Amino acid sequence: MEKNKKIQILQDIIKIDSVNDKETEVAEYLQNLLAEYAIDSELIEYAPNRSSIVAVLEGSRPGKTLGISGHLDVVAAGDEDEWTYPPFAAEIVDGKLYGRGATDMKSGLAALVIAMIEMKENNVDFAGKIKLLGTVGEEVGMYGSKQLVDEGYADDLDGLIIGEPSSIKQIIYAHKGSIQYEIISTGRSAHSSMPELGIDALQQMVDYINISNPKYQALEDSAEHPALGRTINVNTVINGGDQINSVPAKVVLKANARIIPQADNDQFVAAINESLEEVNKSIEGKVELNMLQNNPPVESAQNNDLVESIRKAAGKDIKSISMAGATDASNFGRIDKDFDLAIFGPGELERSHIVDEYVEIDDYLNFIDIYRASYTDYLSH
């Protein structure tokens, strides 16, 4: 494919403002693009205007299935006046393409898809198949990858590249899970001169924190993963009370736990529930859990075959590391099979979600070549 067309494709999909919505427009764009090269695809609707896309390119003989995945959504642009270049204009200045999603991760998505197309265009001989899994809603809820896994689209994966921004310097083979949740304490308001008529939701929350902290600490101390470290919990936001002379009737605590496989999501949720049970025994009001997101950790071998194929294509010194952040790999990791994982894509993680997000055009184009060479090597037998 010509260089200008590769750049145009990235500009076109950045111009679609798929902020936690409208992924169907991106999916349809990719569907039309793939159709130009006679590659069939299927849109999988999650909600109106929100469709994931799956496309398969078959090799000449049986072999492994290599999944290639990117999310179609982006995070909000924030205050557009703060941007030097408008977030959905995809302007190119000094070799940099600016826009929301330029790094996270429409450049990775476009590069994965174009490399797939070039396998066909160049008649590259390979075994097995390349399966595109473009997902909705990764940034909030990871709905698309969950749906694709639940509906069996990921069952046959032997390897999976997720094109999230890692930079060319490193490949991620494992990451922690993440649990985002709220604790809601409900009491009853009363005038603070007569507190005995109320139920103090704030005091209930203090009780919860005091009871739960040692339980989370025990889980943290129970296991340490050599690369991922420990399961940790951080209480991050607290809101409650109405005014200075009223007993607070409602307090909400938000928290985020980061999870390793050896002290896993189920154990952590059990610790929350035990804490709540204990608190609820001794209070008049109630304290409850509202689960927002529950994504497991994912792990493959540090130097798995896919990592090695990428190293052959991109440089033998590339480190393979773990990270704390979560991706769609959390959901894909739930399939009943071990697979080779490589989270590897253009752009730098630090440039995600910020004002004036950009990707270097050369970096983007380079990744297309690296992906194509990696597909070819991984699927050579």
Considering only residues 221 to 260 of the shown chain, the ones binding Zn ion according to CB under 5 A are: none
| Dihedral angle over CA of 365, 370, 373, 374, nearest 10 | -140
Minimum distance from residue 332 beta carbon to Zn ion (Å) = 14
Stretch that binds Zn ion, among 38-46, 161-169, 197-205, 274-282 (CB under 5 A): 161-169
* Amino acid identity at 23: E
Minimum distance from residue 280 beta carbon to Zn ion (Å) = 38
Minimum distance from residue 359 beta carbon to Zn ion (Å) = 13
Residue 16 token pair: 């679609």
Stretch that binds Zn ion, among 53-61, 80-88, 157-165, 286-294 (CB under 5 A): 157-165
| Nearest residue (beta carbon) to Zn ion | 104
Minimum distance from residue 106 beta carbon to Zn ion (Å) = 10
346 Rama sector, left if φ>0, alpha if ψ -120 to 50, beta otherwise: beta
Residue 6 token pair: 């590769």
**What is d(CA 312, CA 374) in angstroms, rounded to the nearest whole number?**
8
Q: Residue from 73, 104, 158, 308 that binds Zn ion (CB under 5 A)?
A: 104
Residue number, 172 or 199, with CB nearest to Zn ion: 172
Helix (H, G, I), strand (E, B) or coil at 174: strand
CB 103, CB 17: distance < 8 Å: no
Q: Note if the bond before 105 is cis, omega within 30 degrees.
A: yes
Minimum distance from residue 139 beta carbon to Zn ion (Å) = 7
Q: Residue from 105, 109, 114, 149 that binds Zn ion (CB under 5 A)?
A: 105
Residue number, 75 or 373, with CB nearest to Zn ion: 75
Count of chain residues binding Zn ion (CB under 5 A): 3
How distant is the alpha carbon of residue 138 from its chain centre? 5
Residue number, 189 or 327, with CB nearest to Zn ion: 327
How distant is the alpha carbon of residue 353 from its chain centre? 13
Stretch that binds Zn ion, among 102-110, 116-124, 184-192, 229-237 (CB under 5 A): 102-110
Residue number, 164 or 200, with CB nearest to Zn ion: 164
Residue 278 token pair: 């204990």
Stretch that binds Zn ion, among 79-87, 99-107, 178-186, 217-225 (CB under 5 A): 99-107
Stretch that binds Zn ion, among 49-57, 105-113, 340-348, 362-370 (CB under 5 A): 105-113
Minimum distance from residue 255 beta carbon to Zn ion (Å) = 23
Residue number, 105 or 179, with CB nearest to Zn ion: 105
Residue number, 105 or 157, with CB nearest to Zn ion: 105
DSSP sequence for 41-72? EEEEEEETTEEEEEEEEE-SEEEEEEEEEEES
* Amino acid identity at 175: H
Residue 95 token pair: 């070799």
Residue number, 26 or 287, with CB nearest to Zn ion: 26
Minimum distance from residue 62 beta carbon to Zn ion (Å) = 33
Residue number, 162 or 306, with CB nearest to Zn ion: 162
**What is d(CA 261, CA 176) in angstroms, rounded to the nearest whole number?**
8
Cα 257 to Cα 181, 263, 266, distances in angstroms: 9, 11, 12
Minimum distance from residue 110 beta carbon to Zn ion (Å) = 14
Q: Which residues are catalytic?
A: 73, 138
26 binds Zn ion (CB under 5 A): no
CB 178, CB 238: distance < 8 Å: no
Helix extents (H) in the chain: 3-14, 23-36, 107-121, 143-150, 201-222, 265-281, 305-314, 329-332, 361-378
Stretch that binds Zn ion, among 22-30, 97-105, 215-223, 233-241 (CB under 5 A): 97-105
Strands 170-175 and 319-323: parallel
For 271, residues 6+ apart whose C-beta sits below 8 A from its C-beta are: 212, 215, 216, 218, 219
The contact set with Zn ion (CB under 5 A) reads 104-105, 164
